[in-house]
Amino acid sequence: MGKSNIETNYNRHVKNARAFAKYFSGYERAEKISQYFSQNGHPHADYTFNQMAINRSSNKKFAVDIIKAMASLVAENEMLEAEL
């Protein structure tokens, strides 16, 4: 499986999360992205959202940062589950 499987899952989640939050921007977009990952395998999406919200530099960058962090964790978890 390896790296390409993680990348495939990562890209799939980024694409799906973007579509889920399509009509939102800024902080509201970040909330929708968090909601997507909460429903799609992120083990602690609310906690991650709250911690990253505290340290955000801008609302637009916050949405980008949250999608990267959450997609990465979910993709890695999916790869690990597949290896079991």
Tallying the residues shown for the chain, one arrives at 84
Q: Please count the structural domains in the chain.
A: 1
Structure confidence at residue 3 as a pLDDT band (50, 70, 90): low
* CA–CA dist 10, 30 (Å, integer): 17
* CA–CA dist 71, 48 (Å, integer): 12
Which range of residues forms the domain containing residue 76? 2-83
Which helix (H) or strand (E) segment holds residue 36: the answer is: helix 26-39
> Can you say how many angstroms the Cα of residue 68 is from the centroid of all Cα atoms in its chain?
6
Q: What is the pLDDT of residues 29-72, one digit of tens each?
A: 999 999 999 999 999 999 999 999 999 999 999 999 999 999 99
